[in-house]
Amino acid sequence: MELELATREVEMTDENVEQMLMLAERLRISNGGDLDESAILAVAEATGAPVEYVRLAVKLRTEKEKRSFLGNLRSQYRTLEANTRRCVLSGAAATGGALLMAADDRVSRLTQVALHADYGIFTMFSTIACFLGVYNVMLSRNFRTAAIAGAILTAGMFLMHAVFDLVFAVRVSVDTTMFPLLAVAGAGGGALLYQFVQKYRTKLGMKDPTKERQDLLRQLSQLQEKLNSGSQYTAFLSVDIVGSTRMKELADPLAVEYTFNEYHEFVGRVSRKYGGRVHSTAGDGIICAFDQPQQAFAAAKNIQTGLIELNTHRNKIGVPIVVRSGIHSGSVIAPDAGDVTSVNFSRVIDIAAHLQKAAPPGGVVVSEESIAHLSGGMPSVGSERVRAENVGGVIWLPGRSAVAVSPSVMPPPLPHTKPA
């Protein structure tokens, strides 16, 4: 029991984190930004989940989507811790700037020989790379990270410039004594730059990371409140015909159309009788929504027992209709407040459908969540248990059920019809 509670708690946290990440990403996109460290920290605070758990959720979420090579790099970058990001970007700026400078040296040599002129085509681009590296250092969140990022920028650019010069055969001599000096100079420059930014952050038009996270957290909370305003507890009943494909193959098309229309009307009528409504249909499957599990359970039992009358008087196929059902309940968020039929995607509906597939022909599987809201509790349902999608359920079978069949074996024709 404790293990089940823990599993449910993890699932709830996972759903909350996923939902909040979607909201944070939409906010960032609407503001022209991206899902950065401030957004990750805000989601962690809003959901109560550890920061590393949220970063893992970001990674798993992006891995589910098909992305290009650059898209994959971007998704991996999102999962990095803020200080690590500064160091990675410093290294990227240093490498890019060094590559452009080495390319500029090589092109200058060629143009001097061929055209007797030095155009310096890549000089502007290498300068831009250097400025981007400096700006990245300015974004550091603490003194230590600024110093490390500055050291990586200067020493890394010197080292990679030497490597690219060797690759482009510009020159082969490298003064290695400059490397540690540049690293120290870069660290000192990064530290001074950090102090300068902290002092004049407002004048520079840069946002305070703490305030930015708090603003995002406030926006997330407001959006969450709006979404929760459409939240309501709903019980879903999933009903499906057993072996319907085989039934249609053996019967006249007009008889099939008439009989299945009668079946859909029958299920809708029973649902309305118990205060429910048809949420959606897909082929022979029907999803009905109710305010309370007690209503859904009563409707499911009525559907099973009422099939006798349907099969006797309105079934023209020649084979009795046998259904199985699943019931699950929980909170869903309706885009149109108060209209549960506007809910298109919900784990509650999915679980009801999975429980329906686990039910025996002629039976109903009621989830443990729904049983907790039944007046008679588990004894009013049964004793045989099943599981689907890590959700436990109990099987209800009528005392005098419709003919029980397996999907692969068809029952004999009805007495008043001829074999197909």
In the chain, what are the domain boundaries? 2-223, 230-396
Q: Angle at the Cα of 112 (from 107 to 115), degrees rounded to 5?
A: 105
Chain centroid to CA 36: how far? 17
Average pLDDT over residues 249-257: 86
Residue 368 identity: E
d(CA 332, CA 112): 71
CA distances from 332 to 65, 80, 89, 335 (A): 25, 33, 42, 10
Average pLDDT over residues 122-142: 84
Residue 111 identity: T
Average pLDDT over residues 43-61: 67
Phi, psi of 318, rounded to the nearest 5 degrees: 100, -5
d(CA 154, CA 150): 6
The residue among 13, 7, 87 whose CA lies nearest residue 49 is 13
Mean pLDDT, the chain, as a whole number?
Answer: 76
User: β-pairing, 364-367 with 391-396?
Assistant: antiparallel
Q: Angle at the Cα of 96 (from 93 to 102), degrees rounded to 5?
A: 135
Judged against a pLDDT cut of 50, whether residue 1 lies above it is answered with no
Task: Determine if the pTM surpasses 0.75.
Answer: no
**pLDDT top residue among 107 and 4:** 107
What pLDDT band is residue 135 in, cutting at 50, 70 and 90? confident
Structure-token match 């600024």, residue found: 146
Average pLDDT over residues 55-78: 61
Q: Which residues contact 90 (CB under 8 A, 6 or more apart)?
A: 133, 136, 137, 149, 150, 152, 153, 156
Secondary structure (DSSP) of 67-134: --HHHHHHHHHHTS-HHHHHHHHHHHHHHHHHHHHHHHHHHHHHHHHHHS----TTHHHHHHHHHHHH
Q: Where does residue 48 fall: left (phi above 0), alpha (psi -120 to 50 degrees), or beta otherwise?
A: left
Q: What is the CATH number of domain 230-396?
A: 3.30.70.1230
CA distances from 88 to 95, 128, 256, 322 (A): 11, 17, 65, 62
What pLDDT band is residue 80 in, cutting at 50, 70 and 90? confident
Structure-token match 């823990």, residue found: 6
Structure-token match 């089940």, residue found: 4
What pLDDT band is residue 416 in, cutting at 50, 70 and 90? very low
Average pLDDT over residues 210-219: 71
Lowest-confidence range among 199-213, 269-283, 294-308?
A: 199-213
User: Residues 396, 313: contact at Cβ < 8 Å?
Assistant: no
Q: Where does residue 392 fall: left (phi above 0), alpha (psi -120 to 50 degrees), or beta otherwise?
A: beta
- Burial class of residue 16, CB neighbours in 10 A (0-12, 13-18, 19+): middle
Judged against a pLDDT cut of 90, whether residue 176 lies above it is answered with no
Helices (H), 244-396: 244-249, 253-273, 293-313, 347-358, 368-371
Report, in angstroms and rounded to the nearest whole number, the Rg of the chain calculated over CA atoms: 33
d(CA 380, CA 356): 18
d(CA 128, CA 140): 19
Question: Which DSSP state fits 170?
Answer: S
pLDDT at 194: 85
Structure-token match 């057993």, residue found: 242
Q: Where does residue 225 fall: left (phi above 0), alpha (psi -120 to 50 degrees), or beta otherwise?
A: alpha
